[in-house]
């Protein structure tokens, strides 16, 4: 049999053209519950440290490390899981991260001192970083062309409910009159429940067809999975595929990597600085308010501004595109933070400050917090998609670590207006980087969006593929 080049587009067409199905939504729910847990675990620590400060007599340095350690560890988790996904497969790694997350959440609730809690927060963070890489890539490789942005965005939007659940749970426990030394332990331990709920579903998920064909060259398994998911028959004769080997260091992927990792870094400086340290910011704004009041205000901001922003982004992701949502979100963030910097008297008017602060939150979610998660799962080739996503997430979590680590110090030394001025500058850089480095992948197949234009070459006994229904 002579050499034949096979069109990957035709092979993946049943996946790309499929209508949203029960399988798609099960995949989104399985991935999304992880992000609910990620958000809860990452952001509950702000309330926990506020409770622990008088109990353990925390210093500013200890407070900084407790607030940010999980974010620093998530950098390593994203890199490790991203690389292993490309080497061992998506399925092999999926579910491992939520097992680690579940155990870390449970054991951290029994911490006896600051050092133990910091170490266990690092375990939780490592798992969270792994979840960022695995969930985005698996969702993108199973998604159809028309709804891919909406599907990946929905996974990430579950973060909004976790963001809300943290202060809500904290408020309930604090309002109940429960002793604070028990309340903070329950806050941490409850994070294990949603993570544990999806362990089985993640371990049962099939390997993605794009990995089995594009990386392993396994025609038969790919054809069987495509038929199982779409009902479309892909007829094959057994043969081998010579897969390509692209590098993240080659054009155009290096510029894209700078764009995804850099914009995620800048966004997370603002997002985690504000979110993890919300209790510190609100305490600076309302110094005489009790912890329960500032916790409820924080929950109200998340509910009114942040949660709707996530879902507006989901609704418009495949209509107006990732690029526009990202740069305009950064622009509004810069304007909101810049206004507080330029008119520092706003901090003496709590209602006005909270209004501007809330607008910034809405456009973080209807903006770069969503798109920085979606982009890396779409614009890198399949053989390095895990690593591209992992490096991008690691860039983001590095920014998150710096934001959460430095925010207590910045608020204490520079006060709120100057701190917001720094965030305004970071947001303006995000606008520039988005416009210079990132393409628009909406309504493109994953292969078109990632630049995988070359078709695989087949050996002399190559398979002959034809799609039929």
Instruction: Express each pLDDT in 424-447 by its tens digit.
Output: 999 999 999 999 999 999 999 999
pLDDT score recorded for residue 228: 82
Cα four-point dihedral sign 369, 98, 43, 408: negative
Spacing of C-alpha 214 from chain mean position:
25
pLDDT score recorded for residue 406: 81
pLDDT score recorded for residue 34: 85
Look-up: residue for tokens 């709804």?
A: 147
Distance in angstroms (rounded) separating the CA atoms of residues 182 and 110 = 10
Mean pLDDT of all residues in 16-43: 87
Mean pLDDT of the chain: 85
Domains of the chain: 11-205+244-440 (1.20.1250.20)
Other Cβ atoms within 10 Å of 41 Cβ, number: 28
Mean pLDDT of all residues in 249-259: 94
pLDDT digits (tens, 9 = 90+) for 175-214: 898 998 999 999 999 989 988 988 988 988 889 999 988 8
Mean pLDDT of all residues in 153-174: 86
Mean pLDDT of all residues in 397-402: 89
Distance in angstroms (rounded) separating the CA atoms of residues 45 and 65 = 11
pLDDT score recorded for residue 456: 39
Is residue 241 very low, low, confident or very high in pLDDT (cuts 50, 70, 90)?
low
Q: Which residue did the predictor score with more confidence, 242 or 71?
A: 71
Query: Which tokens sit at 99?
Result: 């097992």
Is residue 354 very low, low, confident or very high in pLDDT (cuts 50, 70, 90)?
confident
pLDDT score recorded for residue 273: 62
pLDDT score recorded for residue 184: 93
Mean pLDDT of all residues in 123-145: 93
pLDDT score recorded for residue 10: 67
Is residue 330 very low, low, confident or very high in pLDDT (cuts 50, 70, 90)?
very high
Distance in angstroms (rounded) separating the CA atoms of residues 353 and 452 = 47
pLDDT digits (tens, 9 = 90+) for 77-107: 999 999 999 999 999 999 999 999 999 999 9
pLDDT at 464 over 70: no
Residue 234 burial (10 A CB sphere; 0-12, 13-18, 19+): buried
């Amino acid at each position: 049999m002579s050499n034949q080049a096979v069109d990957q587009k035709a092979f993946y067409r049943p996946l790309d053209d499929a209508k949203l199905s029960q399988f798609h939504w099960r995949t989104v729910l399985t991935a999304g519950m992880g992000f609910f847990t990620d958000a809860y675990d990452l952001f509950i620590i702000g309330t926990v440290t506020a409770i622990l400060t008088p109990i353990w007599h925390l210093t500013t340095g200890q407070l900084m490390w407790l607030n940010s350690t999980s974010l620093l560890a998530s950098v390593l988790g994203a890199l490790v899981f991203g690389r292993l996904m490309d080497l061992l497969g998506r399925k092999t790694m999926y579910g491992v991260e939520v097992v680690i997350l579940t155990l870390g959440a449970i054991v951290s609730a029994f911490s006896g001192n600051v050092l133990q809690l910091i170490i266990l927060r690092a375990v939780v963070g490592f798992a969270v970083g792994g979840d960022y890489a695995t969930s985005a890539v698996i969702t993108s490789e199973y998604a159809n062309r028309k709804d891919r942005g909406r599907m990946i965005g929905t996974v990430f939007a579950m973060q909004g409910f976790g963001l809300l659940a943290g202060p809500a749970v904290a408020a309930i426990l604090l309002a109940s009159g429960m002793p604070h030394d028990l309340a903070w332990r329950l806050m941490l331990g409850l994070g294990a429940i949603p993570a544990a709920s999806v362990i089985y579903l993640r371990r049962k998920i099939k390997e993605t067809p794009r990995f089995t064909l594009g990386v392993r060259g396994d025609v038969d398994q790919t054809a069987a999975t495509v038929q199982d998911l779409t009902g479309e028959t892909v007829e094959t004769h057994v043969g081998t595929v010579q897969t390509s080997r692209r590098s993240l260091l080659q054009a155009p992927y290096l510029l894209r990597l700078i764009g995804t990792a850099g914009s995620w870094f800048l966004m997370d400086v603002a997002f985690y600085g504000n979110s993890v340290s919300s209790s510190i910011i609100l305490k600076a704004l309302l110094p005489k308010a009790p912890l329960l009041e500032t916790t409820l205000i924080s929950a109200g901001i998340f509910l009114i501004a942040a949660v709707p922003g996530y879902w507006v982004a989901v609704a418009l992701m495949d209509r107006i595109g990732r690029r526009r949502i990202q740069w305009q979100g950064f622009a509004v963030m810069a304007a909101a933070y810049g206004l507080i910097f330029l008119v520092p008297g706003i901090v003496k008017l709590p209602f006005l400050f909270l209004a501007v602060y809330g607008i910034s939150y809405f456009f973080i979610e209807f903006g770069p917090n969503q798109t920085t998660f979606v982009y890396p799962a779409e614009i890198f080739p399949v053989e390095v998609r895990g690593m591209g996503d992992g490096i991008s997430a690691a860039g983001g979590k590095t920014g998150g670590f710096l934001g959460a680590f430095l925010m207590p110090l910045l608020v204490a030394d520079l006060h709120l207006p100057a701190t917001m001025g720094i965030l305004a500058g970071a947001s303006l850089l995000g606008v520039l980087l988005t416009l210079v480095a990132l393409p628009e992948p909406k309504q493109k197949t994953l292969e078109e969006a990632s630049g995988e234009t070359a078709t695989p070459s087949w050996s002399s006994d190559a398979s002959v593929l034809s799609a039929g229904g």
